Amino acid sequence: MYNYYLFDLDGTLTQSEFGIIDSARYALNKFGIQVEDRESLKRFIGPPLFVTFREFYGFSEEEAERGMIFFREFYNREGIYNAPVYPRVKETLEKLKAGGKKLAVATSKPKPLADKVIKHSGLWDLFDAVIGPPLEKKQVGKRDQILEALSALGAGEARYKEALMVGDRKYDIDAAHDVGIDSVGVLYGYGSREELEQAGPTYIVKDISEVVGL
């Protein structure tokens, strides 16, 4: 029986592509990079910003740091509030909470920004903890957020078998494997079925409401 539920944020709880894509376009424009294909900018959803600027645009460390500043300039002003909650998310969290489960957000989004999103979405009171890295941290592994979330929920290593990580990308699943907890890949987010199947989650679901039945 699972008693500790950890949720990714972008692509799992909130449909964050709108604000993130607009923020990415704004940042790239500052470097003279014009991107017409909005779909390609979904690569900014999930991984740390620093990593995305470096891997996909060949930025130097200094350029990546500046890119992060530009991205957050727009995101803090406008983008952060353009992330609607996916259907049935709130009802699912309420059911889990009513069943006595402990819930946490474990995200690579910096904690101050994650806090704003969760509060704006109306989900804040449903979580026992919201875990994200500090703003100044460049490269973030999801493993650290999962471990911190488990600790915040009071789930020691002996209770890892009672924990479940829910996410839409391979980063969520890989980190869950690394920590040694079960995982759920959700198909409605930003990762493809192929990506999730290759990562090998314990379960794959089409709708977040299916998590309650696990």
Model confidence band, residue 46 (pLDDT cutoffs 50, 70, 90): confident
Q: Is 211 exposed, middle or buried (0-12, 13-18, 19+ CB in 10 A)?
A: buried
* Separation in Å, CA 168 to CA 8, 12, 15, 26, 46: 8, 6, 11, 25, 9
Full-model pTM = 0.86
142 and 46 inside one domain: no
63 and 100 inside one domain: no
- Give backbone dihedrals phi and psi of 10, rounded to 5 degrees, phi first: -70, 120
pLDDT of residue 48: 82
Q: Which domain range does residue 105 map to?
A: 4-15+83-213
Section 176-199 average pLDDT: 97
Can 10 be counted among the known catalytic residues?
Answer: yes
Section 36-44 average pLDDT: 91
Can 37 be counted among the known catalytic residues?
Answer: no
DSSP string, 113-131: HHHHHHHHHT-GGG-SEEE
Count of domains forming the chain: 2
**What are the tens digits of pLDDT across the range 88-141?**
999 999 999 999 999 999 998 889 999 999 999 999 999 999 999 998 766 667
62 and 89 inside one domain: no
Q: Which residues pair with 4 in a beta bridge?
A: 102, 163
Which one from 10, 168, 172, 174 is the annotated catalytic residue?
10
pLDDT of residue 65: 94
pLDDT of residue 138: 64
Q: Crossing angle for the helix pair 49-57 and 61-77, nearest 10 degrees? A: 130
Which one from 8, 22, 168, 182 is the annotated catalytic residue?
8
97 and 203 inside one domain: yes
